[in-house]
Structure 1
Amino acid sequence: MGKALFEAVATSGDRSRYREKVHRCLDVLASMLNDAGFTEVRWMTGLEIEINLMDAAAEPAMRNTEILSNLVDPGFQPELGQFNVEYNAAPRLIQGDGLADYECDILDSLRAIDDQARKAESTIVLIGSLPTLTADHLVLANLSPHERYRALNDEIVGARGELLTVDIRGVERLRAANDSIATEAACTSAQFHLQVPADRFAAYWNASQAIAAVQVALGANSPFLFGRHLWAETRVALFQQATDTRPEELRAQGVRPRVWFGERWITSVFDLFEENVRYFPPLLPVLGDEDPARVLRDGGVPHLAELRLHNGTVYRWNRPVYDVMEGVPHLRVENRVLPSGPTVADMLANAAFYFGLCRRLAEQDRPVWSQLPFGTAEDNFLGAARHGIEATVVWPRLGEIGVTDLVLSTLLPLAHEGLDRFGVAPAHRDRLLGIIEQRCRTRRNGAWWQAASMRRAEQRRHLDRTLALHDMLTRYAALQQSNDPVHTWPVE
């Protein structure tokens, strides 16, 4: 988007025309859904991984522009903060050796960027939030030098009309304020994409919402921020608060936050796009030249650029995606609940668990969401983010149950069956889901390891909090290089 986006936002001021165009795009999407405008799904998947850069002192390294300029790989791009980059793995099927191919390709690509990072006196770290970040790092000057981020910052800060505040109560409490969206750069995630049939999209989105709590409990990896021990997955609370465009008065009126779990089970993908248009004002009103209705009438495939751009500024934890690849439109669920790391093996295990479980639940005769109130699913999600692998959730026919017990007794067998339906090779299925099983049996994930390591550094080695966090992050980065799952990592 770059410069054109910035100039459009800075000079047009015509939100009404953009809003009208978004509504036209929405009408065209409705027509495509009603007229079977989507071809048979191929079950393609995708992975995005956000990565932190760290210097030799275990501090964030503001070097992404330099590192990326020396890396010839279109899969990498800058992220919000100068200490962030994003990697987009090439989409693929997971049948056969697909998951193993993902792992090999990701490891190779990470080695390449780490080689470039080391030339810039830094290294890469896969972690939900860098524990050594401070408020001094998260300032406007440390945003990546791309017009898109500055435009987004201006729009969010302008909509809020006051400082963006953070107040998170966990093991300890953090209160902070910022005059920019730079705090959002502390949130780094691993995102999974699953292409699904248009007429079955609602089932896959509902299934993703139902299991979001379990995912975040098992994969939590963000317990520290600004030196405070907060939630097991602090990133969930931080992301919602750091991008909240609502002043206090609008929150009191019930205006929805842009980082949003949602408020109901859906019957069609149209429900989500329509809610996004109805509830959220545009942030980046950039108009293109396409007439989507004319393109559709002429037998073409509209790109619906305005609707897609608007959709990208509503940060659902499970986001609907409309896209066109090689002239063919498709829909996919973008699963955004998990943090980055701790290792590539851990992230691929999380992906296998999500893909398999989501497919199996979406194809049940009596779906789980028909037995689970939506508000309970959201409560499960927030409780899991707070307590991580020790969390309990409410599950149909089982009542309140520990997440690890639920996974071992009920969900892992379903994930196995789901991966079988994708045609995943049994050896890869068993290895990756075996990581999830052992994570549950040992009750150790990334958040647990970080907290245990920090606690031992403070209590046994008598380091102060700052030194303990730097020491923990240095050891974390070294252990990550092995690609051994985090439940096997020694604490000392």
Structure 2
Amino acid sequence: MGDDIAQVEYTREQRLKYRQKVRRCLDVFERMLAEHAFDVDTPLTGLEIELNLVNSEWAPDMANAVVLEAIADPAFQTELGQYNIELNVPPMPLAGDSFATLETTLRASLDHAESRANESGSEIIMIGILPTLLPEHFEAGWMSHNPRYEALQDAIFAHRREDLELDISGVESLQMYADTIAPESACTSVQLHLQVPPADFAATWNAAQALAGPQLALGANSPFLFGKRLWAETRTELFLQATDTRSPELRNQGVRPPVFFGERWITSIFDLFEENVRYFPALLPETTDEDPEAELAAGRAPRLQELRLHNGTVYRWNRPVYDVVQGRPHLRVENRVLPAGPTVVDVLANAAFYYGAVRMLATDDRPVWTKMSFAAAESNFGSGARLGVDATFYWPGFGEVPWDELMLRHLLPLAHDGLDRWGVDPAVRDRLLGIVEARCKLRRNGSWWQSETVARLEGRGLDRMQALTGMLHRYSDLMHSNEPVHTWELP
């Protein structure tokens, strides 16, 4: 969800004070990287899952306040839209049977939440974009009651000075304007966190960037938006356009958008925070009383709240994170590439592939980013989002290669080795990566199943919205079965 804020409007003086404070925080952070001890004893992973609420007619249910009160679990929090909630999983090590334990815990938490949501008249759906969502659902009362969201919306439109334009062409085309950031709420994702030492951060981030395209093709689960079939993973382009602070003229000048893949391989986490300060205007310029220089001089880890808040409004697909827990600072790569769903076991299979493959790519003697341009990695990302299982990528040693071939011949074996290095139990490793392997061999992911199901239902005479509703009903039943998506039958 991001850090809470206390106000919605800001003066010019507050913005100037914030800019100065952010630069002070950046200077202190640079000193900390050189001098301060970071928490690296037991690298931990974390997980966040964004979820949708629907009513009895399978339309979005603007009821997250009621549902969260019924769930009564601090692990579940609000999200941008009133039909969104988020589940936050406590950090854990990867070794042993942690994935198996996490699967049991996640299913129990979601079953409990589903039961309480049902009592309130809602149902929880874990999917990249809710396919029954339509523009008219945003006519009133769609935004969650949190000052951060209102302030963020005001800041985006203050920078744009005009309505947002959505223009996405894929299998079908969508063109429309929006006078709020409501379309952003359609993007529900899974975020994977990986704690790393400062010396290893750049290699891990570079590896995650290189992996993003194949990762998207593996997990795509967002083919429909506002009744249109667009990209295999429409969520990535929607998120970019629905938060864009730039007018068309600024886009033409090459100004960077807040949703940012990046533009170069890095040598330090400092590169990313320095880019944030140099290139991106403050959207939530709220200043604290912390004196970061004094905190550091006293031997304490400063919160650097202004730098953290600013970083939270630059939506990199692999975001750098600085945090302080129990007085000890640490660094994380937050992987934001994947959509939510389709099932808990699919989410964990995606996570196992990511953690295993990124470990091996980051520790290679001749890492992939020394043999591939950053532009090629960005092109792979776009191809994975647009085409999913039909994507073709550039990869060193393979040239132009179909997604499934790259996965089966190269990346999946790397993921096996990486999970071994993490100390993951072999039985757990084989089960989760076996799901990935079957998905690759059958070329079936959540996006494929959604698209094929809707096409079959339309072939029986249903119109598009009837087919989307029928598909979502089937999706919900299969989601609760926890059988991986590649095994789901078509109607």
Partner Cα distance (1:174, 1:41) in 2: 49
Q: Does 1:260 align with 2:284?
A: no
> What secondary structure does 2:330 align onto?
strand
> What secondary structure does 1:5 align onto?
coil
Give yes or no for contact 1:8–1:286 (8 Å, CA) kept in 2: no
Match of 2:473 in 1: 474
Q: Map 1:146-157 onto structure 2 (within 5 A).
A: 146-157=146-157
Unaligned 5+ residue runs, structure 2? none
Give yes or no for contact 1:217–1:389 (8 Å, CA) kept in 2: yes
Partner Cα distance (2:368, 2:90) in 1: 32
Partner Cα distance (1:402, 1:245) in 2: 35
Give yes or no for contact 1:139–1:180 (8 Å, CA) kept in 2: no
Q: Map 1:107-186 onto structure 2 (within 5 A).
A: 107-139=107-139, 141-186=141-186
Partner Cα distance (2:319, 2:131) in 1: 28
Partner Cα distance (1:163, 1:334) in 2: 30
Give yes or no for contact 1:41–1:197 (8 Å, CA) kept in 2: no
Give yes or no for contact 2:67–2:122 (8 Å, CA) kept in 1: no
Q: Does 1:21 align with 2:21?
A: yes
In structure 2, do the counterparts of structure 1 residues 139 and 321 end up closer, same or farther at CA, with 3 Å as the change threshold? farther
Deviations 1:269-288 (A, max 9, x none): 00000000000010001110
Give yes or no for contact 1:114–1:123 (8 Å, CA) kept in 2: yes
Match of 1:391 in 2: 391
In structure 2, do the counterparts of structure 1 residues 8 and 452 end up closer, same or farther at CA, with 3 Å as the change threshold? closer
Q: If the length of structure 2 is used for normalisation, what is the TM-score?
A: 0.98
Q: Does 1:304 align with 2:304?
A: yes
Deviations 1:227-271 (A, max 9, x none): 101000000110000000001111111100000000000000000
Partner Cα distance (1:177, 1:236) in 2: 18
Partner Cα distance (1:96, 1:416) in 2: 14
Deviations 1:324-357 (A, max 9, x none): 1111100000000000000000000000000010
Give yes or no for contact 2:204–2:362 (8 Å, CA) kept in 1: yes
Letter in 2 for 1:54: V
Q: Map 1:407-422 onto structure 2 (within 5 A).
A: 407-422=407-422
Q: CA deviation at 1:160?
A: 0.9
Partner Cα distance (2:257, 2:209) in 1: 17
> What secondary structure does 1:481 align onto?
helix
Give yes or no for contact 1:259–1:314 (8 Å, CA) kept in 2: yes
Match of 1:489 in 2: 488
Unaligned 5+ residue runs, structure 1? none
Q: CA deviation at 1:157?
A: 1.3
Deviates more, 1:68-77 or 1:226-235: 68-77
Give yes or no for contact 1:6–1:151 (8 Å, CA) kept in 2: no
Q: CA deviation at 1:37?
A: 3.0
Partner Cα distance (1:454, 1:231) in 2: 15
> What secondary structure does 2:135 align onto?
coil
Partner Cα distance (1:113, 1:69) in 2: 11
Percent of aligned positions that are identical? 57
In structure 2, do the counterparts of structure 1 residues 257 and 4 end up closer, same or farther at CA, with 3 Å as the change threshold? closer
In structure 2, do the counterparts of structure 1 residues 79 and 404 end up closer, same or farther at CA, with 3 Å as the change threshold? same
Give yes or no for contact 1:167–1:175 (8 Å, CA) kept in 2: yes
Partner Cα distance (1:259, 1:436) in 2: 28
Q: Map 1:144-293 onto structure 2 (within 5 A).
A: 144-293=144-293
Give yes or no for contact 1:208–1:318 (8 Å, CA) kept in 2: yes
Q: Map 1:332-347 onto structure 2 (within 5 A).
A: 332-347=332-347
Length, aligned pairs only: 491
> What secondary structure does 1:141 align onto?
coil
Partner Cα distance (2:403, 2:121) in 1: 41
Q: Map 1:410-449 onto structure 2 (within 5 A).
A: 410-449=410-449
> What secondary structure does 2:332 align onto?
strand
In structure 2, do the counterparts of structure 1 residues 203 and 4 end up closer, same or farther at CA, with 3 Å as the change threshold? closer
Q: Does 1:99 align with 2:124?
A: no
> What secondary structure does 1:20 align onto?
helix
Q: CA deviation at 1:375?
A: 0.3
In structure 2, do the counterparts of structure 1 residues 245 and 8 end up closer, same or farther at CA, with 3 Å as the change threshold? closer
> What secondary structure does 1:218 align onto?
helix
In structure 2, do the counterparts of structure 1 residues 44 and 140 end up closer, same or farther at CA, with 3 Å as the change threshold? farther
Q: CA deviation at 1:471?
A: 0.4
Q: CA deviation at 1:72?
A: 2.0
Letter in 2 for 1:486: V
Give yes or no for contact 1:5–1:148 (8 Å, CA) kept in 2: yes
Deviations 1:86-125 (A, max 9, x none): 0001110010011111111111110111111101212100
Give yes or no for contact 2:8–2:151 (8 Å, CA) kept in 1: no
Q: CA deviation at 1:138?
A: 2.8
Q: Map 1:39-54 onto structure 2 (within 5 A).
A: 39-54=39-54
Q: CA deviation at 1:10?
A: 4.4
Match of 1:403 in 2: 403
Give yes or no for contact 2:8–2:148 (8 Å, CA) kept in 1: no
RMSD: 1.4
Q: CA deviation at 1:13?
A: 5.0
In structure 2, do the counterparts of structure 1 residues 8 and 117 end up closer, same or farther at CA, with 3 Å as the change threshold? closer
Give yes or no for contact 1:232–1:447 (8 Å, CA) kept in 2: yes
Give yes or no for contact 2:49–2:190 (8 Å, CA) kept in 1: yes
Partner Cα distance (1:310, 1:184) in 2: 19
Match of 2:378 in 1: 378
Match of 1:463 in 2: 462
Partner Cα distance (2:112, 2:20) in 1: 45
Partner Cα distance (1:392, 1:338) in 2: 18
> What secondary structure does 1:468 align onto?
helix
Give yes or no for contact 2:444–2:486 (8 Å, CA) kept in 1: yes
Letter in 2 for 1:483: N
Q: CA deviation at 1:197?
A: 1.0
Q: CA deviation at 1:429?
A: 0.4
Partner Cα distance (2:425, 2:138) in 1: 44
